[in-house]
Chain A
Amino acid sequence: MSEALATETVLDVKNLQTVFFTNSGLFRAVDDVSFSVRRGETLAIVGESGCGKSVSALSIMRLVPDPPGRIVGGSVMLEGTDLLMLDDATMRDIRGNRISMIFQEPMTSLNPVMRIGDQIIEAVRLHQKVSNKEAWKQAVDMLRLVRIPEPERRAQEYPHQLSGGMRQRAMIAMALACRPALLIADEPTTALDVTIQAQILALIVDLQKRLGTGLILITHDLGVVAQTAQRVIVMYAGKKVEEATVEALFETPLHPYTRGLMASIPAVPSPDAKADVRLVEIPGMVPSLTKLPPGCAFAPRCKLAVDRCRQAYPPLEEARPNHWAACWRAGETVEAS
């Protein structure tokens, strides 16, 4: 890949704010979040349920259900166009064409009464003026690209005739059919078995490199992040708390939440590990977004929290070159490490 291509920014999200109105009140699902994705780059968004990672993705796609949700601020620049300013018709042209999305559950994301080939054709013909025959050929080519064996035959089949892994491949084929500039994968392998997960992740990374697509990978699995992403943002309670290259993040996580997450996942044991050692746990639970504490949302669970953390939300600061963290004490952790 040429240098010019590698640095070209595909997506630039600035100060995105998305709120939800629910029975138990209003909450900011995505609160002032900024990030960008370059061509051929993989950006991972990590966090636990309710941290706002999926809503961020839906906001980019302008698919936040309204009501109860609404994007109330910020900009989402895709290849120089602010998606939040577009009318609905123009936005529909962009979805599936310039940005595509793949979801966690490949069964519910495919139409059960349509042949796989027809579903890909539909995606293609929505955005390209091609004959049905030409589109079918493209569909089969896409299935071949995602390494589905016997693509001609599989294109004729219905989703229920395919295994979970095959369906996710078909979803990827559909998402990439129009060669989008940006692909958003929301927990694409969470519903799959590990051996299939390894296959699908390898496929996504390989295709993305070949096609130069920008990729946003949303996941809760730090292992998946480490194996696929170049840059990572960590989200907690609707806010971005840390951003770094994948190497820097795993080498020196700055935010106590990131550190906690890394320490709390059990690793496949090394031969010298003791049986039943306790894991490092993050005490407490993820706060309800409708009842966020003042100051840092992580403070009630944080061992390092001081009074200042409970009073004011820390700004996102570049604690090290290209490594941002929103923590009053990030500087100290850098010195300590």
Chain B
Amino acid sequence: MTEQRALLEVNELVKHYAVRGGILRRQVGTVHAVDGVSFSLGAGETLGLVGESGCGKSTVARTVLRLVEPTSGAIKLDGEDIAPLSKTALRPYRRSMQIVFQDPFASLNPRMTAGDIVGEPLTVHGLAAGKKKQERVAELFQQVGLRADQMKNFPHQFSGGQRQRICIARALSLGPRLIVCDEPVSALDVSIQAQVINLLIDLQRKQNFSYLFIAHDLAVVAHISHRVAVMYLGRIVEIADKHALFANPRHPYTQALLASVPIANPKAKRLAPMIDGDVPSPINPPSGCAFHTRCRFAIDRCKTERPALKETGPGHQVACWLNDGTGRNE
């Protein structure tokens, strides 16, 4: 996949929010939601984006789709930078990138039928109307494992898993090349999660689009992704092929994250938390490496200088001073 030109290339993406306070609503601080994130995504590839709440993974997702305006940085879709485009100029690009949200209950308009929801993008972009539209919607329903006769039902008549299927059908309707999945299965029951993950994998195999897959559940991300990026406080701290990442995590945060996942095997008991404390506030993130406040390997340099992502193996990049070739935390 690396030999092809990347479908999506994100360069030094930054999103800062102003924190206002007082009577005069003056800016009293800045939330560093996304603080210089770069990655690329090939066609037919899935990049997983993991991290804990507040690490900025959802902001990255929304900024890539320009649902949130980036503060700076480039978002190249097929080589074209869409970050500076006006809303009107952006519209044709919307067809190429779609999103599936976490909450399948809130992401469907309760006053519209499932068929109308899935068909609406076709109307908006003038792609199909009348009978042709109905046929296309029926086809989309069938693709995501729903029956065509369910088109006239309203969202509340569907279960959580089925609603997520409707969301996926809506995303597919425009024939996108990139689908951003923002925690698409975390609101679903365990037995339904597997159905939706399988559906996403099957669809990708057939239609070869790319996923930017955001989740806090490492196992889910690991399952669906080809490559995984780990985020901490607005920055990517490690990015690698998923096998390399899970077999040989190099950043202390990735190691802690992996060690914290409870394994569904009572013989592998290991309830010893790897890191203490909480994620610091993104309003005034720690200097240097943002993780140094919780890192057991931190050295003086970590407190003052911010480590950049560096290649430590083929396609394996880590932002840690201890991993700049010295391999000291092995």
Determine whether the beta carbon of B246 is less than 8 Å from that of A269: yes
User: Is A193 among interface residues, defined by CB-CB distance under 8 A?
Assistant: yes
Determine whether the beta carbon of B262 is less than 8 Å from that of A199: no
Separation in Å of the A156 CB from the closest CB of chain B? Answer: 19
Determine whether the beta carbon of B264 is less than 8 Å from that of A260: no
User: Is A112 among interface residues, defined by CB-CB distance under 8 A?
Assistant: no
Interface residues of B: mostly helix, strand, loop or mixed?
helix
User: Is A1 among interface residues, defined by CB-CB distance under 8 A?
Assistant: no
- Interface of chain B residues 204 through 261 with chain A (CB within 8 A): 204-205, 216, 218-220, 222-224, 226, 242-243, 246-247, 256-261
What's the count of A-B pairs with C-beta under 8 Å?
153
Separation in Å of the B201 CB from the closest CB of chain A? Answer: 5
Separation in Å of the B43 CB from the closest CB of chain A? Answer: 15
Which B residues are in CB contact (< 8 Å) with A285? 159, 161-162, 192
Complex alpha-carbon distance, A225 and B190, angstroms: 14
Evaluate whether A194 and B191 lie within 8 angstroms (CB atoms) in the complex, with A221-B262, A227-B270 already known. no
Bitwise interface map of A from 235 to 267 toward B, beta carbon under 8 Å scored 1, else 0: 000000000001100100000000011101111
Which A residues are in CB contact (< 8 Å) with B264? 222-223, 225-226, 250, 262, 265, 267
Which B residues are in CB contact (< 8 Å) with A205? 271
Determine whether the beta carbon of B222 is less than 8 Å from that of A266: yes
Complex alpha-carbon distance, A42 and B210, angstroms: 44
Total count of chain B residues near the partner, CB < 8 A: 54
State which of B28-36, B110-118, B275-283, B301-309 sits at the interface with chain A.
B275-283
User: Is B194 among interface residues, defined by CB-CB distance under 8 A?
Assistant: yes
Bitwise interface map of B from 258 to 297 toward A, beta carbon under 8 Å scored 1, else 0: 1111111111111111111011000000000000000000
Separation in Å of the A76 CB from the closest CB of chain B? Answer: 27
User: Is A140 among interface residues, defined by CB-CB distance under 8 A?
Assistant: no
Evaluate whether A194 and B222 lie within 8 angstroms (CB atoms) in the complex, with A247-B267, A264-B194 already known. no
Complex alpha-carbon distance, A166 and B53, angstroms: 15
Bitwise interface map of A from 146 to 188 toward B, beta carbon under 8 Å scored 1, else 0: 0000000000000000011110000000000000000000000
User: Is A286 among interface residues, defined by CB-CB distance under 8 A?
Assistant: yes
User: Is A321 among interface residues, defined by CB-CB distance under 8 A?
Assistant: no
User: Is B149 among interface residues, defined by CB-CB distance under 8 A?
Assistant: no
Which B residues are in CB contact (< 8 Å) with A262? 264
User: Is B198 among interface residues, defined by CB-CB distance under 8 A?
Assistant: yes
Complex alpha-carbon distance, A98 and B215, angstroms: 39
Determine whether the beta carbon of A266 is less than 8 Å from that of B274: no
Complex alpha-carbon distance, A327 and B216, angstroms: 35
Separation in Å of the A58 CB from the closest CB of chain B? Answer: 20
Closest Cβ neighbor of B256 among chain A residues:
A195
Determine whether the beta carbon of A227 is less than 8 Å from that of B271: yes
Determine whether the beta carbon of A279 is less than 8 Å from that of B198: yes
Among A199, A261, A280, chain B packs the most CB atoms within 10 A around the CB of A199
- Interface of chain A residues 188 through 229 with chain B (CB within 8 A): 193-199, 201-202, 205, 220-228
Complex alpha-carbon distance, A275 and B52, angstroms: 24
Separation in Å of the A163 CB from the closest CB of chain B? Answer: 4
Which residues of A pack against B, CB within 8 Å?
48-49, 163-166, 193-199, 201-202, 205, 220-228, 246-247, 250, 260-262, 264-269, 271, 273, 275-283, 285-286
Which residues of B pack against A, CB within 8 Å?
46, 52-53, 159, 161-162, 189-195, 197-198, 201-202, 204-205, 216, 218-220, 222-224, 226, 242-243, 246-247, 256-276, 278-279
Given contacts A202-B273, A264-B190, 17 further A-B contacts (CB under 8 A): A163-B279, A193-B279, A195-B256, A195-B257, A198-B274, A222-B190, A223-B263, A225-B264, A246-B266, A260-B191, A264-B193, A268-B218, A268-B219, A275-B242, A280-B194, A281-B191, A282-B195
List the 10 closest A-B pairs by CB distance, nearest first: A223-B262, A266-B223, A193-B52, A264-B194, A198-B260, A48-B189, A282-B191, A279-B194, A281-B194, A163-B278
